[in-house]
Amino acid sequence: MSEHPTTSWQAMQNGTVFYRRQQLYSMMGKMPDLGDYIIAGCRYGGPLAMMRDNTKLIAVGRATPAHAKSQIQVYSSAGEGLLLFSWENSRIVRFGWTLNEQLVVLNEDGVYRVYDLQGDYQQYSLGGEASEAGVIDARVYENGMVALTGSLILLEVKGWDGARPLTLVNPNLTDPPLSWAIIPPDLNISRHVEVLLSVENTIHTVDNLENVDQRLSQGPFTHVSPSPNGKSLALLNAAGALLVISSDFQRRMAEFDTLDVPSAQGNVKQVEWCGNDAIVVTWDSLAVLVGPFADTLQYTYVGNTFAITETDGVRIFGADVCDLVQKVPTSTLSIFKPGSTSPAAILFDAWESFSQRSPKADESIRSIRPELATAVDGCIDAAGQEWEPYWQRRLLSAAKFGQGFLDFYNPTDFINMGQTLKVLNAVRFYEIGIPLTYAQYSYTSPTHLISRLTSRNMHLLALRISTFLSLKPDVVLKHWASAKIMRTRPTAGGTGKDSDLDSDDEVCRLIVDKFKQLGGVEVSYAEIAKRAWEVGRTGLATKLLDHEKRASDQVPLLLSMKEDRIALQKAVDSGDTDLVYQVLLHLHKHLTLGSFFRLIEDGGEQLAPASRLLQVYAREQDRDMLRDFYYSDDRRVESAVLALEEASRMQDPSARISAVKSAQKFFSEDKDRSFEAKIMDEFSRLLTLQQQLEAEADGKVAFFNQSVTGTIRTCIVNGMLKRADKIKSDFKVPDKRFWYTKLYALTEVRDFEGLDAFSKSKRSPIGYEPFVRHLVEKGHSKEAVAYVARCDPPKRADLYAECDEWRMVGKECKDRGDKAKLEELRKKCPNSLIARELEQLATSMK
Amino acid sequence: MSTEEQGVYETESTLDTSLLKEISKKTLVDALNSVNGSKTLVLDPSLAGPLGLVTEVALLKHHGVDKMFWLERGPLASNTTNIVYLCRPMVNHVKIIADHIKRHAKESSKHNYTLLLVPRLSSLVSRLLEEEGVLGDITISAYNLQFLPIAEDVISLEYESAFKDIWVDGDESVLFDSAQALVTLQKLFGLFPRLLGKGDHAARLIDLLRTYLSQSHDTSTPDTLLEPSSNFDSLIVIDRRVDMITPLLTQLTYEGLMDELLGIRNSHVELPASLVNPPSNAPADAATAPPIATSSTSLRKENRKKYHLSSADSLFKETRDLNFSNVGKHLNAVARRLDDDYKTSLQSKTTAQLRDFVERLRGRLYSEHQSLRIHTGISELLVPMTRTERFNKSLEIQQNLLASYRVSDQISSIEEMIAKETDIETVVRLLCLASITSGGIKTKTLENIKREFLQAYGYNFLPLLLSLAAPSLATLLPNPLPPSTPSNVQESKLPFASLRKSLRLLIDDNPEAMDEVENDISFVYSGYAPISVRLVQCVAQKGGVLSNPAEKEKVTTASDGSKNAQAGGKVQAHPIVGWKGFEDILATIPGKTVDEVQNPVGVVAPLGGIARPKDKATTTVVFFLGGCTYTEIAALRWVARQNRGRNFLIATTGMITGSSIVDGLAGIQKATAGTKDAGI
């Protein structure tokens, strides 16, 4: 039987508030002396990263080996070594943890690396300015960091994917601050990171907009520490006074003199928060918990200590223990507080009596009947707060016992708590070493926990937990596959090519089978393949990529693998034209023009869409390339069309003629295009002619950009009749079209005499009806009348009517004896006078 | 069916397409709000129309748009720090933007640039901006503008160059975007239970649609993609290449003719300003308002104003799909009814009656009056245009070609039209029609007419003729084909003569009957049924293809009239069973035929008719890849009216006419009026 929970409690504020010190792990001699190291701890039960503090002396003969180079060691909370790597770059100024348990290490050149727990890292830089001025310090928070450069400028980095650093407002410092801290963006009202700088006697707050002096006078402050929720600040000044104020600097909440602590020796090491309402001040082997009303609790440790603020407590490392100090949660307090009469306490008592077969149980239950539901909830919640499975089980049993007396009770909370505790107990096991509390687990979510497990390569546990919690196994599987690929890396030069291929197949099959078996349908094979490619296993990457369905994921990797043709093929198959462009543009940049064209041409029908897209693009952007492309592919017709298109853009006549001639040449090279070649020949002749005509007209008349018909018309309009005739014969313009053109042109310039002469020059091939109609249409009815007589007799009456020549209508009808026509036209006539006349005429007809 | 009845639309539940509009509006607002503070909006002119369907200027102003400009060459003066560009990913647009940024840098005026690309990000644009050296200065995001409702039952992507992109340039971006838009539609209303399609590109589109769905299966998949929709019964994709004839013909419905002669863009038609602006005098006087100028010459001189053709206008809704020859009669009837309304009201005795009348005068009567005035005006604009010799000659040639009547004479007529300097669009449309209906034009004749054409319109149109003859289009071919042509060109020839018979394309009814009774979809072309709609009928109204349902009904009502009476003359729509019964005909039409049952991911169901509740009306989505004409919409609406229990939702890449296709191919830019200050 475990000790009663209250044994770890200590009272504060006259016994109204209790704090408990829970020993999480004992780790005799697993970790080196904390005092010799610079340490960064990760929240939520995460690991510690340690680096030898070069400023400290090492006693000769101590077990710790002396390293010339910087070395960073990472230990789990239970003291298990997780990672060790050495640092070859210039001096490390700071390291810290991200939300995803990645270690960020920043050196004085402004280069930072983000390590995962396997030692793989991404490297980024703070930019040129930082590397010139040097970085002297930095603060890392979960989703970014702020660095202080040698020129005392603050640079902010958001996120961990290499975002460009933003410069905050210049704090106008002359010396580096005595101490400083940041409040992360999500805890500020402004939603921007806020930097707190201890300058002289006061604190300056700096963000991306302003630099404000908060006018405190008790400085200088050696420690600045914001609370986990960002609402309060703990400040320690050089005189040893601990000041707690709200982070808007409006309220002072407490003051405490650290010099009053009797057993304290030496300087204060850390000022950390225990949850949001108490502060832990640590000395070499002492930790003092300062409550809101300056009450204190003292915890002594063997050896040096290190404290990590948690959202609901503080983790304190001693030389051989790891403790969690936290305020006793309300639900626990209400059950276990001596003499508690809360319903939950009575329920727990009732259950104990019941298990001892005592009749008192029934009596107790009766007494809390109205509040039984609350009591059950209280027991469930308290179970979540307990560390020992023994007490968890007891509290849950009590809850279950209480449930039996309730008619309607939703057991969801009960079931969830049971599941959660099972998971929490599993990860708290010292080999795993993640001492996560229930509150932290709820805050960070189960998926976060799973990703933490996978990053420790604990795939089986992660998979079991995700199955247990009915989460999708994809994340785990993906990580597992990447790890698998890393592990099975064939030894270089060992077994030769064939066995190498075998192992590729083997690994691929293994991965695909596992995915299928576990239903990880949504795993992106492309990402895993990318991983394989990165470690130099191209064969495996290709094989894995074949299983990827989404082309948009396949293509980028294929390109970086230089599988150009396959990449292009996949892009074309996907139907996503943008993807095709991506590939084309990439290839155009990286291949020689010749091999680029060859790739596309050799693709034949399959790559035809890509070829067409290239043409669309090149037509707009890169005509020279298009010309080369057509030429290299012997596409005469396209070459010719391109030349023709260019000709139409040219302003200079002779340049245009030569462009048309080259089009003609291209057409003539294709035996099926003799017609087009002939046409182009005509075109160049026309252009030459137009050049002559313009010269003849002394540039007063524009001929360019006109068709043959247009040229003829312009000639006629400008009185160059001979020329028009010449063009007609030169270009074999048919009579009919010529007559229409001339008719229109002469009407346009109102040369009615010329028109008359023209109409009589020979028998009109188009008849005379068009003359009448066109003249009428253009409003020359009077001139039109003359031509009606030369039209077909049956149509004359109608045509006269169109010319508004009603007398002639009557006459025509009479001559032809067409009474019906007359009646029909009479209805259309414009005024009654004419109507009457026509009517008379009609009556006179038989 | 009387005209009154035609006006009554489906009362059965239809899909709420305005949802699509709301989504587009919301994403636009979100995109604008992502840029903080007041901003200058620089707009791609080709997007102004579609955006006008989504939002109004006031809304933009409300979301911080201070000023709007067209995206065009030249300096951009902006007094806000934020500049937002909204455009399609085109090379020349990017160049203008890069130019603006460089100019500003030179003048050292500092701005924040945001580029919203429609409908999605483009690596091409990023690359170009990178080459111009301004990529770092601009934030690029996407504004996913997809289907926009242009009528209650018509949604359009409003792409202007879809046809040219696909069949001339071979740029299949439109296909991908269409697939995305159809996925969005499915996300909203559920999975299409059955996918049907005709044509190679239609098949490709359906292919894309399926692969996309099989891949997009992850946690974010909405429930609607997990099971076949109860709203939809099928998707029918018609590839424009399958039916090239329809757009080549002159549309003869009211709305179609308006598009042909006046031009409709994004449901707006440009009209003389005097016609659009309501006269200032009281509505009672408007009845006797003087007739508007009717001659086409005066039209050009007058200021033009855009008029929105919306289906909220009940008179337009009634008349838009009528054959133009019936529109006058209909307008007349409405005018007389309105007149009666006024008269009866004037006889009202009590004050209550009078008040009632005044109320009506202000509301319904007034708006009806306005729309009557405008539509009478439009008809008066159209009538003289339909009386010209060219218009009628062109119609005559079309009808003769469709009947394959003395083809060589028709070709000489076309030649004469060239001589008469008829507009290039009409000539090209007729030439292509001649080639398609007769399986090619005799080589010698064709060369001759091509030469005539080039001499008359300019040799620079040779590329147009070449692309018409190119294998992907193959709409202007010699007969016989030269031996060197690829075999797929031969295969892509439409067996028009046999189709004319098997699909009953040409109706030989006497023209008098046609005037009164719309008894077949062929009313839209005065006696010719569009192949595309016949194909839809093959799926959705099989009886309509084989015989005339209106005629048949007469017989049945005579024999047992009581049986059909409760259905109001409508027949219950048959379930979708694919192309069944018409497989042989479809096989003769070039292009792939698709018929697939679409199952939610992972579920395998047998191919066959899908059982669904009888009483619930379902919607058949007809997607025209490459654009559709107003006549096709009219014809489909007619089909929908014949059946109970099936509605149509017509989706298209854009509205087209034969002329807009020709202009696109020839690269003729129709001038659009625009000022520097953009207004939507």
pLDDT of residue B552: 46
| CB contact (8 A) between residue A612 and residue B171 | yes
**Region A744-764 average pLDDT:** 89
**The predicted structure's pLDDT at residue B473:** 86
Residue A519 confidence class, pLDDT cut points 50, 70, 90 = low
Question: How much is the mean pLDDT over chain A?
Answer: 85
Cβ(B535)–Cβ(B198) below 8 Å? yes
Interface test mutation site (partner B, options A605, A637, A736, A738, max chain B beta carbons within 10 A) = A736
Residue whose C-alpha is closest to residue A452's, from A466, A439, A462, A442: A462
Report the C-alpha gap between A308 and A46 in whole angstroms. 10
Tell me where in chain B the CATH 3.90.830 domain(s) lie: 268-386
**Helices B366-386, B389-402: inter-axial angle, 10-degree rounding:** 80
Task: For chain B, positions 188-227, list CB contacts with chain A under 8 A.
Answer: 204, 207-208, 211, 214-215, 217-219
pLDDT band at B301 (very low <50, low <70, confident <90, very high): very low
Identify the weakest region by mean pLDDT among A319-328, A506-515, A639-648, A752-761: A506-515
pLDDT at residue B634, as a whole number: 92
Task: Tell me: pLDDT of B575 over 90.
Answer: no
User: If you average pLDDT over residues B123-142, what whole number do you get?
Assistant: 86
User: H or E stretch including A314?
Assistant: strand A313-317
pLDDT beyond 90 at B633? yes
Token readout for A350 is 């009732």
How high is the pLDDT of residue A607? 87
**A710 at B interface, C-beta within 8 A:** yes
Helix (H, G, I), strand (E, B) or coil at A306: strand
Q: Using a CB–CB cutoff of 8 Å, tell me whether B126 touches chain A.
A: no
Is the pLDDT at B205 greater than 90? The verdict is: yes
Report pLDDT for A781: 85
Q: What is the pLDDT of residues A368-392, one digit of tens each?
A: 888 888 899 999 999 999 888 899 9
8 Å CB contact between B45 and B672: yes
Mean pLDDT of A285-307: 86
The predicted model gives A401-426 an average pLDDT of 88
What φ, ψ does residue A114 adopt, rounded to 5°? -110, 110
Does the CB of B445 have a partner CB in chain A at under 8 Å? no
More confident residue, A474 or B225: A474
Which segments of B438-471 does DSSP mark as H helices, in order? Answer: 443-457, 462-469
Name the minimum distance, in Å, from the CA of B218 to any CA of chain A. Answer: 6
Answer whether B171 sits within 8 Å of A736, measured CB to CB.
Answer: no
Please report the DSSP string for A709-746 in residue order. HHHHHHHHHTT-HHHHHHHHHHTT--HHHHHHHHHHHH
Ranking A492-506, A784-798, B211-225, B457-471 by mean pLDDT, the lowest is: A492-506
B412: nearest CA in chain A?
A: A736
The verdict on B482 touching A (C-beta cutoff 8 Å) is yes
pLDDT in tens, B433-467: 999 998 889 999 999 999 999 999 999 899 999 99
CA distance A651 to A633: 29
What residue type is A172 in one-letter code?
N
Confidence bin at B11 (pLDDT 50/70/90): very low
Average pLDDT over residues B195-205: 92
B:361-400 residues touching chain A, CB 8 A cutoff: 389
DSSP B519: -
Q: In the prediction, which pLDDT does A685 show?
A: 92
pLDDT confidence of residue B561: 38
Q: What is the pLDDT of residues A775-804, one digit of tens each?
A: 988 888 888 888 888 888 888 888 888 888
What confidence tens digit (pLDDT) does each residue in A478-490 have?
888 888 777 776 5
* B409 — pLDDT class (breaks 50, 70, 90): very high
Do the bridges between strand A202-206 and strand A194-199 make them parallel or antiparallel, or are there none, so unpaired?
Answer: antiparallel
The rounded mean pLDDT for chain B is 80
pLDDT digits (tens, 9 = 90+) for A689-715: 998 888 888 878 888 888 999 999 999
Reply yes or no on whether the pLDDT at A510 is more than 90. no
SS (H, E, C) A39-51: EEECCCCCCEEEE
Averaged pLDDT, A561-567: 85
What pLDDT, on a 0 to 100 scale, did the predictor assign at position B560? Answer: 41
**pLDDT value of residue B270:** 85
B546 — alpha (psi -120 to 50), left (phi > 0) or beta?
alpha
The answer to whether residues B243 and B530 touch, using CB atoms and an 8 Å cutoff, is yes
* pLDDT computed for residue B603 by the predictor: 47
Percent of chain B predicted with pLDDT > 70: 82
Average pLDDT over residues A523-533: 80
Residue A240 to residues A198, A267, A572, B78, B440: CA-CA distances in angstroms?
15, 9, 71, 58, 102
Q: How far is CA B176 from the centre of its chain?
A: 19
DSSP calls for A65-133:
PP-SSEEEEEE-TTS-EEEEEEE-SS-EEEEEE-TTS-EEEEETTSEEEEE-TTS-EEEEE--HHHHHH
Structure tokens at B488: 């797929």
Q: Say whether residue B602 is in contact with chain A using an 8 A CB cutoff.
A: no
Asked if B462 reaches chain A (Cβ–Cβ under 8 Å), the answer is yes
**Tens of pLDDT along A115-146?**
988 888 888 988 888 888 889 899 999 888 99
CATH number of B395-493: 1.25.40.850
Reply yes or no on whether the pLDDT at A501 is more than 70: no
Interface contact flag, B455 A582, Cβ < 8 Å: no
Percent of chain A's residues with pLDDT above 90: 12
Alpha-carbon gap: B131 to the closest alpha carbon of chain A (Å): 11
Q: What is the model's pLDDT at position A57?
A: 64
Domain boundaries, given as residue ranges, for chain A:
767-846
B121/A744 touch (CB, cutoff 8 Å), yes or no: no
| Confidence (pLDDT) at B220 | 54
Is the distance from CB of B486 to CB of B477 less than 8 angstroms? no
| pLDDT band at B303; cut points 50, 70, 90 | confident
- Listed in sequence order, the DSSP H helices in B216-350 are 245-248, 254-261, 273-276, 283-286, 296-301, 314-319, 324-346
The CATH number fitting domain B268-386, selected from 1.10.3470, 3.30.70, 2.60.120, 3.90.830? 3.90.830
pLDDT for res A67: 52
pLDDT in tens, B227-285: 777 788 889 999 999 999 999 999 999 999 999 998 888 888 888 887 877 554 433 33
In chain B, CATH 1.25.40.850 covers 395-493
Mean pLDDT across the stretch A554-575?
86
Is A621's CB within 8 Å of B91's CB? yes
One-letter amino acid for residue A563 of the chain: E
Does the pLDDT at position B410 exceed 80?
Answer: yes
Query: Among A751, A128, A828, A76, which residue's Cα sits nearest to residue A434?
Result: A76
Q: Which is the CATH superfamily of the domain at B18-147?
A: Sec1/Munc18 (SM) protein, domain 1 (3.40.50.2060)
Chain B contact for A521 (CB, 8 A cutoff): yes
pLDDT score of A811? 83
Q: What percent of chain B has pLDDT over 90?
A: 23
- DSSP letter string, A366-388: HHTGGGHHHHHHHHHHHHHH--S
DSSP A30-76: TS--GGGEEEEE-TTT--EEEEE-TTS---TT-SSPP-SSEEEEEE-
pLDDT at position A14 over 80: no
Tell me, yes or no, if B353 comes closer than 8 A to chain A by beta carbon. no
Most B CBs within 10 Å, among A570, A613, A764, to test the B interface: A613
Instruction: Give the model's pLDDT for residue B217.
Output: 54
Chain A closest-CA separation from residue B411 CA (Å): 15
- The order of strands in the sheet holding B82-87 is B65-70, B39-43, B82-87, B112-117, B138-142
